[in-house]
Amino acid sequence: MKAVDTMIRERLNSEVVLIRSIGDYIIGAGGKRMRPAMLLMVAQALGYQGSHQHLMAAVVEFIHTATLLHDDVVDESDLRRGRSTANAVFGNAASVLVGDYLYSRAFEMMVDVDSMRIMQIMSEATTVIAEGEVLQLLNVHDPDVSEARYLQVVRFKTAKLFEAAAQAGAVLAGATPEQQAGAAAYGRHIGTAFQLIDDVLDYSGDASALGKNVGDDLREGKPTLPLIRVLEVGTEAQKALIRQAIEHGEADFDAVALAIQDTQALEHARQCALAEAELASQALSVFPASKYKDSLLALCPFAVDRDR
Query: Domains plus CATH for the chain?
Result: 130-303 (1.10.600.10)
pLDDT band of residue 235 (cuts 50, 70, 90) is: very high
**Does 222 or 287 have the greater pLDDT score?**
287
Supply the pLDDT for residue 73.
83
List the Cα angle 81/214/216 in 5-degree steps: 90
Tell me which range, 86-95, 256-265, 274-283, is most confidently predicted by mean pLDDT.
274-283
Q: Decide if pLDDT at 19 tops 60.
A: yes
**Does 238 or 89 have the greater pLDDT score?**
238
Per residue, the 3-state secondary structure of the chain, as one string, reads CHHHHHHHHHHCCCCCHHHHHHHHHHHCCCCCCHHHHHHHHHHHHCCCCCCCHHHHHHHHHHHHHHHHHHHHHHHCCCEECCEECHHHHHCHHHHHHHHHHHHHHHHHHHHCCCCHHHHHHHHHHHHHHHHHHHHHHHHCCCCCCCHHHHHHHHHHHHHHHHHHHHHHHHHHCCCCHHHHHHHHHHHHHHHHHHHHHHHHHHHHCCHHHHCCCCCHHHHCCCCCHHHHHHHHHCCHHHHHHHHHHHHHCCCCHHHHHHHHHHCCHHHHHHHHHHHHHHHHHHHHHHCCCCHHHHHHHHHHHHHHCCCC
- 8-12, 44-48, 209-213: which range is least confident on average? 209-213
